[in-house]
């Protein structure tokens, strides 16, 4: 769920400092807002294209060290309370105090981390498509835990396309738009064999791997082959707490990955753990099967192998691996930059046919914004992701 801070309405004062305006609220909150930020975010008719609500004003059209000539509080103590700023060229910018208060405490999605005991929430496929309310509940849950299961879905090949209005558009790669995962002696990927598939995320051979994955079971008449999934962010966060040097190594050292078929090759070199500018986890790239040899010229090769050894052991620890046998008509949705998926070995001769399709987390999140008629920025500032 999103945590929202109660608005800090009620301005106590404004004061210009060397390069920022200090705004104080009566509840004790305060903010130091750079002058150029204030000038940049002016919402007057000169600075905004009214038709589109987009910015017209560009920062480089004023002095970089611009300072207001005056800053005052108007309509103090009323619902119209506003900080009014006058600039040396006569321009005037007005900021309702409620808007400024919200900027102090932007809503942030609290991710719910999990381990082997996790059971993803289940939602009916038809209900998810038919009901905006159920779709919103599913997406909300998905954004929080990174994994949900749709049940009682179709079993016709490519019917995962029916999710496009809710989750799409589909993210395509160089390989098939919808990947067929069947045991195939000519297959190009470990998933086409009977082997145990250790937890991984797909397509880390792209610099921006698909951020949502749908694993749609069409036929499951084999024994074994249970799906395994791991909250990679929970594992990484724990590593960060317990072995920060190793975590930092995995954030820094570039690792090559490649996935290829007879006709296509994908290749990208990136760190296994990526953070956003605030230091929050943004994206994991973990796929032992598609990782290439590390270059011997890597100066931190020893450190890297110590850290990778630790991460590999943690991801493959039974305590973090949730598991579920996907039956025909079930679709496991994962936030693929966060949640790793795998499969236990397939036994027996029964048929098994899974289809994989990819979507993008931004689009899924924005579908939720549309469903609850909210401004996207108020829905989720957390993820990245995932
Ligand atoms: Fe996979
Ligand atoms: Zn303006």
CATH number, domain containing residue 96:
3.30.2020.30
- Reply yes or no on whether the pLDDT at 374 is more than 70: no
Nearest-ligand number for the alpha carbon of 215 = 1
Give the domain extent around 52: 2-105
Distance 215 CA to ligand 1 centre (A): 9
- Reply yes or no on whether the pLDDT at 351 is more than 50: yes
Q: DSSP states of 172-188 as a string?
A: P-SS-SSEEE---TT-S
Instruction: Judge whether 152 lies within some domain.
Output: yes
Nearest-ligand number for the alpha carbon of 50 = 2
Task: Give yes or no: residues 117 and 93 share one domain.
Answer: no
254 to each of 122, 245, 248, 270, how far by Cα in Å?
A: 37, 16, 12, 5
CB atoms within 10 A of CB 129: 15
Q: Is 164 helix (H, G, I), strand (E, B) or coil?
A: helix
- Reply yes or no on whether the pLDDT at 381 is more than 60: no
Distance 201 CA to ligand 1 centre (A): 6
Decide: 199 and 228 in contact? Cβ < 8 Å.
yes
Distance 55 CA to ligand 2 centre (A): 10
Instruction: Judge whether 334 lies within some domain.
Output: yes
Domain boundary among 105, 123, 143: 105
Distance 90 CA to ligand 2 centre (A): 10
Distance 191 CA to ligand 1 centre (A): 7
Nearest-ligand number for the alpha carbon of 290 = 1
Which pLDDT does position 105 carry in this prediction?
78
Host H or E run for residue 376: helix 376-379
Decide: 292 and 258 in contact? Cβ < 8 Å.
yes
Nearest-ligand number for the alpha carbon of 179 = 1
Decide: 71 and 14 in contact? Cβ < 8 Å.
yes
Decide: 88 and 66 in contact? Cβ < 8 Å.
yes
Distance 363 CA to ligand 1 centre (A): 21
Task: Give yes or no: residues 209 and 358 share one domain.
Answer: yes
| CATH assignment of the domain containing 340 | 3.60.130.10
Distance 190 CA to ligand 1 centre (A): 9
Distance, CA of 229 to CA of 323 (rounded, Å): 6
Q: Which residues on neighbouring strands pair with residue 359, listed in sequence order?
A: 212
Specify the higher pLDDT residue, 358 or 185: 358
Distance 231 CA to ligand 1 centre (A): 15
Which pLDDT does position 384 carry in this prediction?
39
Give the strands of the sheet with 339-343, arranged side by side. 197-200, 339-343, 227-231, 321-324
Task: Give yes or no: residues 233 and 375 share one domain.
Answer: yes
Nearest-ligand number for the alpha carbon of 198 = 1
Distance 86 CA to ligand 2 centre (A): 10
Distance 52 CA to ligand 1 centre (A): 41
Distance 342 CA to ligand 1 centre (A): 6
Domain boundary among 75, 105, 135: 105
The values of phi and psi at residue 19, to 5°, are: -135, 15
- Residue 250 gets which letter from DSSP? H
Q: How many domains does the chain have?
A: 2
Task: Give yes or no: residues 46 and 169 share one domain.
Answer: no
Distance 189 CA to ligand 1 centre (A): 9
Instruction: Judge whether 259 lies within some domain.
Output: yes
Distance, CA of 176 to CA of 160 (rounded, Å): 13
Task: Give yes or no: residues 14 and 162 share one domain.
Answer: no
Tell me if the pTM is above 0.75: yes
Distance, CA of 149 to CA of 35 (rounded, Å): 48
CB atoms within 10 A of CB 263: 8
Least reliable range by pLDDT among 35-44, 226-235, 345-354: 345-354
Task: Give yes or no: residues 202 and 158 share one domain.
Answer: yes
Task: Give yes or no: residues 187 and 261 share one domain.
Answer: yes
Task: Give yes or no: residues 248 and 163 share one domain.
Answer: yes
pLDDT, tens digit, 9 for 90 and up, residues 261-298: 889 999 999 999 999 999 999 999 999 999 999 999 99
Distance 41 CA to ligand 1 centre (A): 43
Distance 17 CA to ligand 2 centre (A): 21
Instruction: Judge whether 385 lies within some domain.
Output: no
Pairing of strands 147-151, 121-124: parallel
Instruction: Judge whether 384 lies within some domain.
Output: no
Distance 217 CA to ligand 1 centre (A): 13
Task: Give yes or no: residues 155 and 205 share one domain.
Answer: yes
Domain boundary among 60, 85, 105: 105
Distance 175 CA to ligand 1 centre (A): 13
pLDDT, tens digit, 9 for 90 and up, residues 237-270: 999 999 999 999 999 999 999 999 889 999 999 9
Decide: 86 and 113 in contact? Cβ < 8 Å.
no
Decide: 237 and 251 in contact? Cβ < 8 Å.
no
Structure confidence at residue 184 as a pLDDT band (50, 70, 90): confident
Nearest-ligand number for the alpha carbon of 49 = 2
């Amino acid at each position: 769920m999103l945590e929202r801070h109660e608005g800090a309405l009620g301005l106590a004062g404004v004061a210009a400092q060397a390069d920022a305006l200090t705004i104080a609220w009566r509840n004790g909150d305060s903010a130091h807002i750079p002058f150029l930020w204030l000038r940049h975010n002016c919402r007057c008719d000169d600075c905004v294209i009214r038709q589109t609500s987009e910015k017209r004003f560009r920062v480089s059209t004023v002095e970089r060290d611009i300072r207001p000539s005056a800053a005052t509080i108007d309509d103090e103590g009323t619902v119209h309370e506003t900080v009014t700023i006058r600039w040396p060229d006569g321009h005037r910018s007005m900021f309702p105090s409620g808007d400024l208060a919200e900027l102090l405490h932007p809503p942030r999605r609290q991710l719910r981390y999990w381990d082997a005991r996790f059971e993803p929430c289940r939602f009916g496929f038809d209900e998810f498509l038919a009901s905006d309310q159920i779709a919103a509940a599913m997406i909300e849950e998905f954004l929080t835990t990174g994994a949900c299961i749709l049940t009682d879905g179709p079993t016709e090949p490519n019917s995962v396309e029916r999710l496009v209005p809710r989750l799409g558009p589909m993210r395509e790669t160089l390989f098939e738009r919808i990947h067929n995962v069947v045991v195939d002696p000519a297959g190009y990927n470990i998933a086409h064999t009977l082997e145990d598939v250790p937890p991984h995320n797909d397509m880390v051979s792209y610099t921006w791997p698909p951020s949502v994955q749908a694993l749609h079971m069409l036929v499951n008449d084999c024994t074994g082959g249970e799906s395994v999934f791991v909250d990679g962010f929970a594992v990484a966060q724990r590593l960060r707490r317990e072995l920060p040097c190793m975590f930092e190594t995995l954030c820094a050292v570039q690792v090559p990955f490649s996935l290829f078929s007879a006709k296509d090759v994908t290749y990208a070199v990136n760190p296994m753990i990526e953070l956003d500018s605030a230091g929050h986890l943004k994206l994991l790239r973990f796929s032992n099967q598609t990782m290439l040899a590390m270059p011997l010229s890597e100066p931190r090769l020893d450190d890297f192998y110590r850290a990778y050894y630790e991460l590999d052991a943690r991801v493959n620890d039974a305590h973090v691996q949730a598991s579920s046998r996907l039956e025909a008509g079930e679709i496991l949705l994962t936030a693929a930059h966060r949640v790793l998926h795998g499969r236990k070995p397939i036994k027996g001769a029964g048929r098994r046919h899974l289809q994989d399709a990819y979507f993008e987390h931004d689009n899924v999140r924005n579908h939720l914004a549309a469903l609850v008629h909210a401004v996207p920025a108020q829905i989720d500032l957390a993820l990245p992701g995932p």
